[in-house]
Amino acid sequence: MNSWRKQRLAKLKKQLSESSSQKEEAGGKAASDRDIILPLLEGRALEVLRTAEAQYPSEMGRIEVELAKLIREGGISGPITGEVLFTLFRRLGLRVRLETKIIYFEDGKAKSLSEKIKGE
């Protein structure tokens, strides 16, 4: 009976080590997907990507995998701007809400629209 327990314990340890190595591989793949996407982002694309991740975390995981796949296969080769990324998310049904400000220059100073309204 003692040998049976040792065999069972060895089997469980092996299963545990296999499952942990599979999780590490999956985690490494997600990181590599992101590493593939980030160098192509240009302008405000990183801001759009981070905002979308904050608002739609589960959907963005799948979108990042597909974007990385397209980049690897050569479907996307050029830079990805913030406008292009925002349009992609809209077409996929994700309404990413970005913080926007209207700023104008008056007498060499940058003023927001709210300051202009309050000042008059």
Question: pLDDT tens for residues 44-83?
Answer: 999 999 999 999 998 998 999 999 999 988 888 889 999 9
- The percentage of the chain sitting over the pLDDT mark of 70, rounded to a whole number, equals 88
Pairing of strands 109-112, 103-106: antiparallel
Report whether 113 contacts 74 (CB < 8 A).
no
**Predicted pLDDT at 115:** 80
Domain count, the chain: 1
Pairing of strands 103-106, 80-81: unpaired
Average pLDDT, the chain: 84
**Predicted pLDDT at 55:** 94
Q: If DSSP codes are grouped into helix, strand and coil, which group holds residue 9?
A: helix
Rounded to the nearest 5°, which phi and psi values hold at 106?
A: -135, 125
Domain range for 81 is: 2-119
Q: Which of 110, 119, 111, 60 is nearest to 85 (CA)?
A: 60
Q: If DSSP codes are grouped into helix, strand and coil, which group holds residue 81?
A: strand
Q: What are 103's two structure tokens?
A: 């700023």
For residues 106-117, average pLDDT: 82
**Predicted pLDDT at 112:** 84
